[in-house]
Amino acid sequence: MDKIDRKKKAYELFKSGYNCAQSVVAAFEDVLKLDRETLLNVAIGFGGGFGRTRNLCGTVSAFAIVLGLYLPHSEDPMESKAQIYKHIQELSEEFKARNGSDNCAALLQNVKNLTEGYQPQVRDEEYYKVRPCVKFVLDSVEILEKHLGLDK
């Protein structure tokens, strides 16, 4: 079986208009228990730093979605939460080590003409030229793959 190029898949999803969280989550559809449409719907509100509030980067939020669907859970909810939280914190630290922050506003602080509010910006070539978001999408896919042992 051919190795799936999840980074390419995530890149193509992002470039076709899906948000950062959707692009990361859907890149793992081959190993998750849900179909692409459901994964895209689950992740839609996490883009733009949680609904464009510029808080936690959507690609970092995607860690929680992917881990929650991928990792086995214990019957003990406290144990399950502790395990997921541990993984999320490890992944988040790796993301911050690479990018300096996991906060959307901080990550986009040097982007000129950043709009406010709930309306997403138009995706055109200028958008992709000035946005570092593609890098965050690719970093997050790589971090998840490595952490889950799917990079082999």
Residue 69 identity = L
Cα separation, 74 vs 80, in Å, equals: 5
pTM of the model: 0.95
SS3 63: helix
SS3 103: strand
**What is the chain's pLDDT, residue by residue, as a tens digit (152 residues)?**
468 899 999 999 999 999 999 999 999 999 998 999 999 999 999 999 999 999 999 999 999 999 999 999 999 999 999 999 999 999 999 999 999 999 999 999 999 888 889 999 888 888 988 999 999 999 999 999 999 999 98
Contact 48, 126 (CB under 8 A): no
- Residue from 126, 129, 123, 120 nearest 48 by CA: 120
